[in-house]
Amino acid sequence: MALVGNLRDLKLPNLIQLNCMEKNTAKLTIEYAGKYGFIYFQEGKVVHAELDPDIGEDALFKMLALNEGKFKVESGVRPPIVSISTPWNSLLLKGLHRLDTLQSSDENKQFHLLSMLMNIKGVKNVAILNPEGEVLASNAKIDSASVITVFAALQVEKMGTLMGRSNPRFISLNTASSRILLAHYKQNLIYLDIETKYQIDTVLTLINQVVTT
C-alpha cells in the first residue's frame, strides 16, 4: 500500500531520510501546482529525480524548496535510469545549502507564485506572460491565448491613459466558454484561466491577496 500525505505535514528532507534509512526501493511522487516531481530510491540510496524540465540533482534541489504538495510513496518501484550518485546525506546538505540561493531567484519566486495561485479554488490554469506575449512560466500550454491577452492588456493600458488612470488591478475577459483574468505583476502579466461557474469577485479577492504578498 502506498504512503500518501502532504509536505505540509511531513517535510521532504524527512521523507528522503526515512526512505534511505529504511533501505527502501521506492518511487516518491510529488504533485504541486499541477506539476509532478519524482524521486527514486534504490536500496536506501537516492538514485534518480525528475521535475520537468530538470533531471538528477537539480530536480531534487528544486523539490526541496517545496513546503507543500501532495506526495505518494510506492514501494518496490525501480528507477527508469540512474541520474544521482551522491550519498543521500551529502545530497541533503548540498541541497539545503543551495536552497538559500534558489529562494531568492526569480524563477523560484515565479514558481511559488504559480503554485499559490493554482491553489485557489476555481483557478484552472496560470501563466506569467512578458510584454511580448511570451510565456515565462505556466502550469499548462496556453497557445495563442498569451498573445491575445497581452494585446488586450495593452489596449486597456491605452484606455487607462486616455482616462487618466494607471494600470488596473484586474482585467476580466469573458467568452461563452472561458473567463480569463489578467493582473499586472511587475513588468509582466499574470494570466489566470478561471472556471466560469465561480463567482469572479470571490476569486478576485483571493488572487489579490496572493499577488500583493
Partner 1 sequence: MDEWIFPDQGETFFLGTKVGMPEDNKWLEEILGVAGVEGVLLVSPAGKILAKAGLNFDHLTSEKIAEKIIRIRLIYQQVNQSLKEIEIVWPDYNLVIMLKKEMILITYCSQGKNLPLLRITLQVMMAHLLEDKKFIKQIKKHLNEKPAQIVPEQLDAKEIKLISKLQ
Q: Which residues bind partner 1 (CB under 8 A)?
A: 131-133, 144, 147-148, 150-152, 154-156, 158-160, 162-163, 165-166, 168-176, 178, 199-201, 204
What 3-state class would DSSP assign to 112? helix
Give whichever of 3 and 147 is closer to partner 1, judged by the CB atom.
147
The CA distance from 16 to 22, in Å, is: 10
Distance of closest approach, residue 190 Cβ to partner 1, in angstroms: 14
Q: How far apart are CA 46 and CA 116, in angstroms?
A: 28
Q: What are phi and psi of 36, to 5 degrees?
A: -115, 135
- Residue 176 CB, shortest distance to partner 1, in Å, is 6
In whole angstroms, how close is the CB of 204 to partner 1 at the nearest point?
Answer: 7
Smallest gap from Cβ 113 to partner 1, in A, equals: 19
C-alpha cell read off for 164: 487618466
Q: How many residues does the chain have?
A: 213
Report the side by side order of strands in the sheet with 135-138.
135-138, 123-129, 188-194, 179-185
Nearer to partner 1, 1 or 163 (CB): 163
Q: What amino acid occupies position 118?
A: M
Using an 8 Å Cβ cutoff, are 19 and 26 in contact?
yes
Cβ-contact 28, 39 below 8 angstroms: yes
Nearer to partner 1, 90 or 175 (CB): 175
- The CB-of-124 to partner 1 minimum distance in angstroms stands at 16
Give 108 or 196: the residue with its C-beta nearer to partner 1. 196
Give whichever of 66 and 181 is closer to partner 1, judged by the CB atom: 181
Query: How many CB atoms neighbour CB 212 within 10 A?
Result: 9
